[in-house]
Structure 1
Amino acid sequence: MSSIGELGEFGLITRLTDRLPQGPAVELGPGDDAAVARAPDGRVVATTDLLVEGRHFRRDWSGPYEIGCKAAAQNLADVIAMGARPTVLLVGLAVPAETPVEWAEQLYAGLGEECEMTGTSVAGGDVVAAPRILLAVTALGDLGGEPPLTRSGARPGDLVVVRGRLGHSSAGLELLENGRDEPAELVEAHRRPRPPYTAGAEARAMGATALLDVSDGLLQDLGHIAKASGVRIEVDTAEVPVPAVLGPGGLRHVLTGGEDHGFAATVPPGAAIPSSWTVVGRVTEGAGVLVDGGAYRGAGWDHFRD
Structure 2
Amino acid sequence: MRPEIPGAPETVADVGEFGLIRRLTEGRVQPAATLLGPGDDAAVVTAADGRVVASTDVLVEGVHFRFDWSDPAQVGRKAVAANLADVAAMGAVPTAVLVGLACPATTKTTVLEGLTDGMWTEARRASVGVVGGDMATAPVLVISITALGELRGRAPVTRSGARPGDVLAVSGKLGWSAAGLAVLKRGFRSPVNVVAAHRSPEPDYAAGPRAADAGATAMLDVSDGLLADLGHLCAASGVAVDVRSDLVEVHQRLIDVASALGGDPRHWVLTGGEDHALAATFPDPDAVPDGWRTIGTVTRPGTGPAVTVDGRPYPGATGWQHWR
Q: What does residue 259 of structure 1 align with?
A: 274
SS at match of 1:99: coil
2:79 is matched with 71
- Offset at residue 90 of structure 1 (A): 0.8
Q: How far does the alpha carbon of each residue in 1:135-159 deviate from its partner, in whole angstroms, 9 at most, with x for none?
A: 0111111111211011111111111
Shift of 1:105: 1.1
SS at match of 2:295: strand
Contact kept, 8 Å, 2:247 with 2:295, in 1: the verdict is yes
Query: In the alignment, what sits opposite 2:254?
Result: 246
> One-letter code of the match for 1:190?
H
The answer as to 2:293 corresponding to 1:293 is no
Bigger drift between 288-297 and 177-186 goes to 177-186
Q: Residue 97 of structure 2 corresponds to which residue in structure 1?
A: 89
Alpha-carbon separation, structure 2, partners of 1:69 and 1:27: 23
Q: Distance in 1 between matches of 2:219 and 2:210?
A: 11
- State the partner residue of 1:131: 139
Cα distance in 2 for residues equivalent to 1:286 and 1:236: 17
Partner Cα distance (1:35, 1:169) in 2: 33
* Structure 1 residue 182 displacement after superposition: 2.4
Map 1:19-168; keep pairs closer than 5 Å: 19-168=27-176
Instruction: Say which is worse superposed, 260-269 or 283-292, in terms of deviation.
Output: 283-292
> TM-score, with normalisation over the residues of structure 2?
0.91
- Equivalent residue letter for 2:322: H
Equivalent residues of 1:206, 1:271 under 8 A apart? no
**Could you tell me how far apart the structure 2 residues matched to 1:47 and 1:270 are?**
30
Which residue is equivalent to 2:299? Answer: 284
Q: Shift of residue 278 of structure 1?
A: 1.1
Aligned to 1:269: 284
**2:323 equivalent in structure 1:** 304
Greater radius of gyration (CA): 2
Assess if the C-alpha contact under 8 Å between 2:222 and 2:229 holds in 1.
yes
Q: Is the 8 A contact 1:208 1:268 kept in 2?
A: yes
* Aligned partners of 2:92 and 2:208 also within 8 Å: yes
Aligned residues: 305
Q: Which amino acid letter does the alignment assign opposite residue 240 of structure 2?
A: R
Moved over 4 A (4+): none
How far did residue 104 of structure 1 move? 1.1
Unmatched 5+ stretches in structure 1: none
Of 185, 192, 197 in structure 2, the residue corresponding to residue 177 of structure 1 is 185
* Ranges in structure 2 where 5+ consecutive residues have no aligned partner: 1-8, 259-263
- What's the offset of the Cα at 1:283? 0.7
CA contact (8 A) 2:207 2:291 kept: no
CA distance in structure 1 between the aligned counterparts of 2:112 and 2:43, rounded to whole angstroms: 21
Give CA deviations for 1:98-143 in whole Å, capped at 9, x if unaligned. Answer: 2222221111111011011121111100112222100011111111
After superposition, what is the alpha-carbon deviation per residue over 1:160-187, rounded to whole angstroms, capped at 9, x for unaligned? 0011000111111111112122222221
User: Residue by residue, what CA displacement relative to the aligned partner does 1:222-247 show, whole Å, maximum 9, x if unpaired?
Assistant: 11111111111011101110112112
Counterpart residue identity of residue 229, structure 1: S
